[in-house]
Amino acid sequence: MINDRREVGLVSCVKTKREEAVVPRDLYISAYFEKMREYAENEHDEWWILSAKHGLLAPDGPAIEPYEETLTTASKATQRQWAERVFE
């Protein structure tokens, strides 16, 4: 039996971002993000970014502007809504 499953890596966004609009893979700038990204690229068939503002982002998707949004201080209801949106 051939395994035809694709393994997907999820990488969380980080606070530090570039100052101009760029594709999602290049927006986030931190050593931590770079390590997560490198691992996801090397160990998974594809990878996506979990963004507090945008939900699920394709790494090579359209350029997005930097933003200041976090789920850390969001209410539980807001966190649930975000999770449901990402799940869909």
Residue spans per domain, the chain? 8-87
Please name the residues in contact with 11: beta carbons below 8 A apart, sequence gap of 6 or more. 33, 36, 37, 40, 47, 48, 49, 50
pLDDT at 4: 78
Please name the residues in contact with 81: beta carbons below 8 A apart, sequence gap of 6 or more. none
Q: Is the pLDDT of residue 38 over 70?
A: yes
Mean pLDDT of 18-22: 97
Q: Is the pLDDT of residue 2 over 70?
A: no
pLDDT at 5: 87
Please name the residues in contact with 47: beta carbons below 8 A apart, sequence gap of 6 or more. 8, 9, 10, 11, 37, 40, 41, 59
Q: Is the pLDDT of residue 3 over 80?
A: no
